[in-house]
Amino acid sequence: MIDLSAFLGLAGAELGPLSAKPTSLEGAQREASRALWNSPDGRIEIGVWECTPGRFTADRSASSEFCHFISGLIEMTHADGRKVRLGPGDAINLPLGWKGEWRVIEHVRKLYVITQG
């Protein structure tokens, strides 16, 4: 049987308390997340994440990530120096091996899909 999952009300979904972001470079950032679905083999996770303003590093050496932004505003800097601004309704794919930096301009919330390896 095919598993059909619907994820409703993501803009207001309860994520739990915000905690310190370990890769924060400035802004004493805090983050929260909640997994909504995991594949049976553990390679894919779908969830919601949010973060307070500031700047942090990101490393996708072991996984790829698709992000769809629900609220807030960020500026992402790729390792080659290219920058892109993303906000509500925007999406980006971070392929396996991507490294860069995120600057959260306004408290952000996104839907994510992480695929291991």
CA dihedral 42, 47, 52, 55 (to 10 degrees): 50
- Tell me the pLDDT tens digit for each residue of 61-106: 999 999 999 999 999 999 999 999 999 999 999 999 999 999 999 9
Within a domain: 33: yes
CATH number at residue 58: 2.60.120.10
For residue 14, being part of any structural domain is answered with no
Number of domains the chain is built from: 1
Structural domain that includes position 43:
19-116
Q: Is residue 12 part of a domain?
A: no
Q: Examine residue 9 and state whether it is found in any structural domain, yes or no.
A: no
In a domain, 68, yes or no: yes
CA 30 – CA 9 distance, rounded (Å): 22
Cβ neighbours of residue 56 under 8 Å, at least 6 residues apart? 21, 23, 24, 25, 29, 101, 102, 104
Q: Is 51 within a domain?
A: yes
Summarised one tens digit per residue, pLDDT across range 20-67 is 999 999 999 999 999 999 999 999 999 999 999 999 999 999 999 999
Asked if the model's pLDDT at residue 117 lies above 90, the reply is: no
